[in-house]
Structure 1
């Protein structure tokens, strides 16, 4: 039987014998792997102090795949590597870069996933809220391990690159690369034609433009940049609404800023929303534009998810959004000129409502071509082809 062995950094917590707590999104993804993989599916997770975003309790019997739990830092048992037709794991944490040597002489294939380029990892490390010594240590670690990472990616049987920056940095190293845009937007969740028509009438009527952003309220996301942007819009008399949805260490400062600047009538901070039942319908029906001030080139799923809801993106230029903008024609790039540059872009859209409508339709068309089902099927087809290449 064709066995797929996945080495995952996903968090878990053991409850009692035969039961674990896992992230819901992780389990749903694993169930899809089980459906599309023609054989046994095994997944290795490691014990450790983990934060689980959407925890749920499962019995091992109901998972639908074989879960193997190892102690923190424990190596992958040789028996699992011996029996695997394909080993599939992330290269971003650099914990399994010795696998090309470990798989040498075995019949199984090895495929890495990679999400961040060196520049992206360096920028993320510098942007984190930590002491200078720790940030410097992060940069040094990434520089020291880059050559080893590139060698492992080159020696693997295939690589999956999530997003444009990782693909640009690494896909030429390997003879079997696949670029994909990871997201949770299933086809039935895409914006309906009726919703697009309602949004079009509202936008063209001159009603206040409704901006929205969701995610983690962290320094990396630059969520505090929304305060001067909203303040300038209010000072210029531009009619607008701005919703920020999420939680994180900057939530208190953001809420205090909204109150101190007197923006409560136009700007709201809301807690995280259940993705399928609340967040997606809200974006489809109660927003016009996804506003992003992020400068890091992270391949966030929220980009494609916003497009799927019919929200074109007005975003600060970075390596990810610049390439996605060129591919989708579903939004606008803003240089790193701060709140003033973003304000000027918003003023132009306020006067050219037709551009918003056109970009909204382009957004849905692009997201449909990169829906969760389509992307997942492409990845699984690529893996199956690698395994059967020698048949």
Structure 2
């Protein structure tokens, strides 16, 4: 039977008695791979110290796919590659750039996924550490591997690019390239017509704008820009409420900032709760506009997820949001790092509520066209076609 071999960078923790700890979202995704692939699915993961966002214990025998856990530097077994109809592997961590040579002479096909272009990886390296030495080391590491990455993408049988920046950078290397927008919004989670009508009524009444943000509260998220934005909005006398949902190294600093700027009556930071049953329904019913002060182009899934909640986006003009805004019409772009730009646009939208309502409609339309099921089915159909299996 046609087998799919996936080489995954996702974290795993082995337990006694044939059990493992895996991320819930990863397991749900693997179950879909099993449903949409006409044959056995095998996943290779690496041992090591790992942080797992949403951990859960599983019996290996009940996962529904074959799990192969290797030491960090162990080679992928030849027998696994010999039996594969298709090998699907993430290229971003640079661990498997040798696979085009390894697959030469074998019947199976090779497809890479890629999320970040060189500029994005260097930007993340520069933002990840306050140490100049580590910044330069991370940038140099990425620069020296770009040639090998391009050669591997060029030699593969196909390539899947997550988002506009990666596709723009690399799609010319491989004639079989697919762009997709990875996100967690399934169609039943997208904002309902009744919720859209309630949001429109709230806006027509002239009630205070309900601003929202969710994500990882770290230096790369830009979340700290939301506090001076809120302070300036209040100085202008614009009624609003800003709800932030996230955890991370800057959470306590943001809470101190809310207190220090006396913003506690209109700004809050809370843990997001479970995405599907808690955060998404709240945003669909209790927010009007998503503010995205992200200078980098990733993480990018939050854009589609916010749009799926019916929230137009006001965001910095990074390469991801600038392109998505142009395609969707579901929001507005301001210059990267311009807190004043955010404030001016929110003030204008406070006077033009109809613009928010229209952008909200476009947001839902765009999210529905890029819902998780749609995106996943397109990817799996492309893999089946490349492998020549039904």
Q: Secondary structure at the match of 1:215?
A: strand
Deviation at 1:223, TM superposition (A): 1.0
The structure-2 alpha-carbon separation of the partners of 1:358 and 1:248, relative to structure 1 and needing over 3 Å to count, comes to: same
Paired position in structure 2 for 1:89: 89
The CA distance in 2 between the partners of 1:307 and 1:267, in whole Å, is 22
Change (3 A) 1:337 1:66: closer
CA–CA distance in structure 2, aligned partners of residues 107 and 270 of structure 1 = 51
The 5 Å alignment of 1:201-212 reads 201-212=201-212
Mapped contact 2:186–2:373 kept (Cα < 8 A)? yes
Q: Which residue is 1:306 aligned to?
A: 306
After superposition, residues 254-269 of structure 1 pair within 5 angstroms as 254-269=254-269
- Indicate the larger mover: 121-130 or 191-200: 121-130
- With normalisation by structure 1, the TM-score equals 0.99
Structure 1 residue 344: Cα displacement: 0.6
Partners of 2:195 and 2:7 in 1: how far apart?
Answer: 41
Separation in 1 of the partners of 2:268 and 2:317?
Answer: 25
- CA–CA separation in structure 1 for the residues paired with 2:171 and 2:309: 30
Equivalent-residue separation in structure 2 for 1:71 and 1:4 (angstroms): 21
Match of 1:42 in 2: 42
Q: Which residue is 1:323 aligned to?
A: 323
Give the SS at the match of 1:221.
coil
1:12 aligns with 2:9: no
Equivalent residue, structure 1, for 2:374: 374
What is the aligned partner in structure 2 of residue 332 from structure 1? 332
Q: Is the 8 A contact 1:81 1:108 kept in 2?
A: yes
Structure 1, 44-53 or 332-341: larger mean CA deviation: 332-341
Moved more, 334-343 or 28-37: 334-343
Aligned to 1:352: 352
Residue 106 of structure 1 corresponds to 106
Shift of 1:338: 2.2
Deviations 1:90-147 (A, max 9, x none): 0000000000000000000000000000011111111113311001000001111101
Inter-partner Cα distance in structure 1 for 2:162 and 2:176: 14
Post-superposition shift, 1:17?
A: 3.0
What stretches of structure 1 move > 4 A for 4+ residues in a row? none
> 1:130 and 1:28 mapped to 2: Cα distance?
36
Shift of the alpha carbon at 1:299? 4.8
Report the Cα distance in structure 2 between the residues aligned to 1:301 and 1:29, rounded to whole angstroms.
15
Report 1:162-311 matches (<5 A): 162-311=162-311
In the comparison of the two structures, how many residue pairs are matched? 390
Q: Distance in 2 between matches of 1:337 and 1:324?
A: 19
TM-score, length of structure 2 as denominator length: 0.99
Q: Is the 8 A contact 2:318 2:336 kept in 1?
A: no
- Once residues 336 and 7 of structure 1 are traced to their aligned partners in structure 2, the CA distance between those partners, rounded to angstroms, is 35
What SS class does the counterpart of residue 305 from structure 1 fall into? helix
Answer yes or no: is 1:142 the counterpart of 2:142.
Answer: yes
- The alignment yields a C-alpha RMSD, in angstroms, of 1.0
Task: State the distance in 2 between where 1:129 and 1:350 align.
Answer: 38
Does the CA-based 8 Å contact 1:280-1:309 persist in structure 2?
yes
Structure 2 unmatched runs, 5+: none
CA distance in 2, matches of 1:373, 1:71: 33
Asked if 2 retains the 8 angstrom alpha-carbon contact of 1:162 and 1:299, the reply is no
Note the C-alpha offset of 1:337: 5.3
Distance 2:220 2:299 in 1: 13
- Give the alignment of 1:55-134 within 5 angstroms: 55-134=55-134
